[in-house]
Amino acid sequence: MFRSLLVPLDGSKLAEVALPPARALAEATGARITLVHIVERDPPQEIHGERHLTDASEAERYLQEVRRQYFGESATPEIHVHASATADVARGLVAYSQELAPDLIIMCTHGRGGVRGALFGSKAQQVVGQGAIPVLLVPPAVEGKEPPSFTLRRILIPLDGSAAHEKALPAALELAQAFNAQILLLLVVPTLTTLPAEASGTGILLPGAMSAVLDLAYEGGANYLRRQVDRIRAGGIACEAEVVRGDPVATIVEFSEKLNADLVVLSTHGKAGMDAFWARSVAPMVAGRLRRPMLLWPVREDQESGPGG
């Protein structure tokens, strides 16, 4: 599944935090790596507090140096510079990735967290929203320190019982096998006070009926996860699961810390900006608050129908 990895770099140390995960994934899966730079039209003098790459020849030299530094003199990663300057780097990256056809894009989360991150999104989330290629988002390194090493021991996969959100499972299982990691499944059932907007009115008007519905959802979620656990364990992968009540976004972030997850895997409908905020789309809101690597797996509308497992 992971045969080709694409790492976009803009010349900053911040973006280079994606390199250790790319190297670790390539070593574990045998995938090839491509380092790419998209030349920006009328770029700022600095990017993330560092001098910005301004032309194709400078970007070529930079990528060669990064390849030598992170992968050694006999390094095999390919180098590509998209020399045609573009005003929209995210859109340019999506177009270029369609040409190179990687299985995964690995990039640092440059955007701010919190409400602003949910409303406006980062370049990484824009790439997810515009494309159909999975994206591994890596949080920035601690200022002044080298990018941390990357390993997978625990992979957290939030599910909701639908077939659409199982689309990322095969990729997560492949990673678990490659790294001998444990799978942790999480299903969050809302409470009356954390219902999504489209159901909150019913919860206010008919709290007793809605409570009964949520109780059934909890029971159904527990049965659903038991089936998933049995199936995953049958494949020789260690797996645990838990159903909890609460706000999905806050609970996923909380459990990622509680379980010390090395990776969170989420299917996403690609909504970014205002659409994601008003639709309460979970993935971009989690991405704005998570401090751990996150694999976003795009789901098309025609993949959303049907109940899960």
CATH number at 103 reads: 3.40.50.620
DSSP type of residue 162: B
pLDDT for res 154 = 97
Q: Is 270 part of any domain?
A: yes
pTM for the model stands at 0.83
Over residues 88-102, mean pLDDT:
79
Q: Which two tokens stand for residue 278?
A: 């008003």
Looking at residue 275, what is its pLDDT?
Answer: 46
Tell whether 269 and 169 lie within a shared domain: yes
Domains of the chain: total? 2
Do residues 104 and 208 share a domain? no
Co-location of 21 and 97 in the same domain: yes
Q: Is residue 114 part of a domain?
A: no
* Boundary residue ending a domain (108, 129, 162): 108
Percent of the chain with pLDDT over 90: 38
Which comes out higher in pLDDT, residue 168 or 93? 168
197-219: pLDDT as tens digits: 555 555 554 566 667 878 888 89
Residues 101 and 188 reside in one and the same domain: no
Assess if residue 146 is contained within a domain.
no
- Does residue 55 belong to any structural domain of this protein? yes
* pLDDT of 68 over the 60 cut: yes
User: 86 and 169, same structural domain?
Assistant: no
Between strands 182-189 and 104-108, the pairing is unpaired
User: Is the same domain home to 176 and 87?
Assistant: no
Examine the domain organization and report whether 160 and 95 are in the same domain.
no
pLDDT at 258 over 90: yes
Q: Which domain holds residue 8?
A: 4-108
Long-range contacts formed by 11-14: CB under 8 A, 24+ apart:
11/37, 11/47, 11/50, 11/51, 11/52, 11/53, 11/59, 11/62, 12/47, 12/48, 12/49, 12/50, 13/48, 13/50, 13/141, 14/48, 14/108, 14/110, 14/140, 14/141
* Residue 58 reports pLDDT greater than 50: yes
Hey, which of 46-50, 73-77, 157-161 has the most confident mean pLDDT? 157-161
Same domain, 294 and 162: yes
Q: Which residue has the tokens 């056809």?
A: 101
> How many percent of the chain have pLDDT more than 70?
74
Backbone angles phi, psi at 155, to 5 degrees: -115, 115
What Å distances lie between residue 148 and 47, 246, 304, CA to CA?
21, 32, 36
Helices (H), the chain: 19-29, 56-71, 89-100, 114-120, 123-130, 169-179, 197-205, 207-234, 248-258, 273-279, 282-287
Residue 252 and residue 163 share a domain: yes
Is position 296 within any domain? yes
Count the residues in the chain: 309
- Asked if 258 and 166 sit in the same domain, the reply is yes
Burial per residue of 123-145, b for 16 or more beta-carbon CB atoms within 10 angstroms, e otherwise: bbbbbbbbbebbbbbbbebeeee
What's the pLDDT score for residue 119?
35
In whole angstroms, give the CA distance from residue 112 to residue 138: 13
Last residue of a domain, one of 47, 79, 108: 108
Q: What is the pLDDT of residues 275-306, one digit of tens each?
A: 443 344 677 778 778 889 999 888 765 544 43
Q: Which of 73, 89, 108 is the last residue of a domain?
A: 108
CA atoms of 137 and 81, how far apart (whole Å): 21
- Check whether residue 180 and residue 251 sit in a common domain: yes
User: Which pLDDT belongs to residue 307?
Assistant: 35
Band the pLDDT of 309: cuts 50, 70, 90: very low
Tokens 């009328």 correspond to what residue? 42
Report pLDDT for 276: 43
Q: Kindly state whether residue 63 falls inside one of the protein's structural domains.
A: yes
Work out the mean pLDDT of the chain and round it to a whole number: 80
Is the pLDDT assigned to residue 109 strictly greater than 90? no
Specify if 232 maps to a domain. yes
Whether the Cβ atoms of residue 115 and residue 71 lie closer than 8 Å to each other:
no
In this structure, are 66 and 165 located in the same domain?
no
- Looking at the DSSP bridge assignments, the partners of residue 185 are 157, 241
3-state secondary structure of 5: strand
Domain membership of residue 75 (yes or no) is yes
